[in-house]
Amino acid sequence: MDAGAKNNFLLHPFPASGVSLQCGFIPAGMHLRLDERMAAVATAETEYAQHSIDAAGENGLALATDLSTDLEAALGACASGDRTALRRIFDAESGRLVAVAQRIVRRRDLAEEVVQEAFLRIWTHAHQYRPDRGSARGWIYAIVRNRALNLLRDGKREDLPGDERLETLQDSDQLEQIMAAWQTLDRHSRLRECLGSLDDIKRRGILMAYVGGYTHGEIAGRLCIPLGTAKSWIRRGLSSLRECMA
Amino acid sequence: MRIDRQDLAAIADEYVLGLLDEAEAAQVEAEMAHDAALSDAVAAARDRFLPLDTGIEPVSVSPNLWDTIAERLPDQVPQTGAQPVAPTANDNVAGGVRPGWRSMAISAMAASLILAVGLAWSVTRTVEPLVVAVLLNEAGEVQAVVEDFGNNTASVRLLTEFTVPADRTMQVWTLPSRDMGPMSLGLLEGAHSATLHSPALPKPQDTQLYEITLEQAGGSPTGRPTGPILAKGFAKLPR
């Protein structure tokens, strides 16, 4: 268990070490039986052969491109001091950005705090966005994600009063949300298809990290596998994913 | 963590997934400023996973969230008018300027307000520093103040919490001249403020660069900064 995971205990209210860190915290749908885990090992070798070569186009691509161009232009306008441009980004994306942050930090008030800080950073750093370095949307979401992860790693929750459990997304709810992020991807999405071609356990590891902000240690705990195994499976899963989406 | 060319894509993925530890992530961010291949790999990884975020069901945000943001927005400073920042002590690109640090020139104006308070305090003491440098991080936030007394003694006051992994240490550097290159002022053991005693160095000058990097325990093995820059800034003469 690394140091980050220990801090996370404050935000993720479940045991971080010792015997109590068991698969029992994984809801029925998430729980991997031993034979399933063994099957995952067995199929790891053949994983590279499983990728579908069917590259279906994304639905709504034209719409997405328009949106992306708008965001790019808005960032440019922000850099030259146009506050209405930042407002346009807020109006277009804040509902999703708060939801993304909440999936990581689990509380709405903290998620809004994350988005608030992120918009200040978008404003002050808009001049650093380079259109040839990825999409404007990806840049904006990355700022929100980094803020949310920092809040999680800082264990800031300990400073907050009140009964957190009542207003906090429970572990099982969060794990369901995490899997839903993959299942609700567009049916023809390359990402959905490539994630689908991974072993179940590798897919879970990757989704828990990206969608839920889990550390290697937390993933190993939830999936009942040793830390080193979690790290190497996620690394191999990511490598397969890159190959599949190339 | 050395970034191997072949590992770029893997490191970019783990960075985007939030799986790197704090020091590794800081290094990736520092490297990205001048490593186009790494920046491209990170951008590609971001866009690869982005649909997992953009496909989420939007929530209705608090009605006052925008107002809170709007109230806190600083005025935008024109980037074109910014003074160029001198090359960093451990900048391996000849004459290169790291874009991430450019905003520092602007933030330094805000920092000078804090500096004024620090100076008012420091000039009332019997031993006066020859120069004072306010060190900022890449986001332009004030991290530390260095007072160099010129007698091979420098006081480093940390103004924020630094988390340093067990196998790393914070090392303070200055750049007396381009010819001399970066020189170590010493290590900050336990990431605490300290008074450092360095080997003999030239008398500190106005606008001399000071910086703090994260190095392996015991300090940089090469005698030059090798790790990510935690904070840096340029000296001012107390007046």
Residue ranges of the alpha helices (H) in chain B? 8-16, 22-32, 36-49, 51-54, 65-72, 99-122
> Does A170 fall in a domain?
no
Give the closest-approach CA distance of B176 to chain A in angstroms.
30
Same domain, A88 and A136: yes
> Does A54 fall in a domain?
no
Flag whether pLDDT at B59 surpasses 50. yes
3-state secondary structure chain A: CCHHHHHHCCCCCCCCCCCCCCHHHCCCCCCCCHHHHHHHHHHHCCHHHHCCCCCCCCCCHHHHHHHHHHHHHHHHHHHCCCHHHHHHHHHHHHHHHHHHHHHHHCCHHHHHHHHHHHHHHHHHHHHHCCCCCCCHHHHHHHHHHHHHHHHHHHCHHHHCCCCHHHHCCCHHHHHHHHHHHHHCCCCCCHHHHHHHCCCHHHHHHHHHHHHHCCCHHHHHHHHCCCHHHHHHHHHHHHHHHHHHHC
Average pLDDT for B60-81: 84
Inspect the interface and report whether the beta carbons of A81 and B44 lie closer than 8 Å. no
Nearest to A210 among B49, B58, B59 (CB): B49
Average pLDDT for A149-176: 63
- Rounded-to-integer distance, Cα B11 and Cα B19, Å: 9
List the domain boundaries for chain B.
1-73, 99-236
Average pLDDT for A38-59: 36
Q: Which residues contact B84 (CB under 8 A, 6 or more apart)?
A: B97, B102, B105
What is the predicted pLDDT for the residue at A17?
A: 36
Give the closest-approach CA distance of B17 to chain A in angstroms.
5
Average pLDDT for A13-23: 38
> Does A174 fall in a domain?
no
Average pLDDT for A139-148: 96
What is the predicted pLDDT for the residue at B6?
A: 62
Residue that finishes a domain, picked among A156, A177, A194: A156
User: What is the span of the domain harbouring residue A144?
Assistant: 61-156
Average pLDDT for A58-81: 71
Inspect the interface and report whether the beta carbons of B61 and A112 lie closer than 8 Å. yes
> Does A176 fall in a domain?
no
Same domain, A83 and A128: yes
Same domain, A149 and A95: yes
Same domain, A101 and A124: yes
Give the closest-approach CA distance of A36 to chain B in angstroms.
25
Q: What is the mean pLDDT of chain B?
A: 79
Same domain, A209 and A241: yes
Same domain, A152 and A228: no
Q: What is the pLDDT of residues B180-236, one digit of tens each?
A: 888 899 999 888 888 888 888 888 988 888 999 998 888 888 888 888 889 988 888
What is the predicted pLDDT for the residue at B49?
A: 97
Greatest mean pLDDT range, A66-70, A135-139, B162-166: A135-139
Instruction: Tell which CATH classification among 3.30.2010, 1.20.120, 3.30.460, 2.60.40 matches the domain B99-236.
Output: 2.60.40
Greatest mean pLDDT range, A231-245, B86-100, B185-199: A231-245
Same domain, A8 and A77: no
pLDDT category at A244 given cuts 50, 70, 90 is very high
Kindly list the residues from chain A whose CB atom is less than 8 angstroms away from the CB atom of residue B29.
Answer: none
Who wins on pLDDT, A79 or A20? A79
| B165 close contact with A: CB closer than 8 A | yes
Nearest to A98 among B42, B61, B72 (CB): B61
> CATH no. for residue A30?
1.10.10.10
What is the predicted pLDDT for the residue at A32?
A: 41
Question: Is B132 in contact with B122 (CB distance < 8 Å)?
Answer: yes
Who wins on pLDDT, A27 or B140? B140
How many structural domains compose chain A? 2
Could you tell me which CATH number the domain at B1-73 has? Answer: 1.10.10
Kindly list the residues from chain A whose CB atom is less than 8 angstroms away from the CB atom of residue B165.
Answer: 3
Greatest mean pLDDT range, A160-164, B37-41, B85-89, B108-112: B37-41
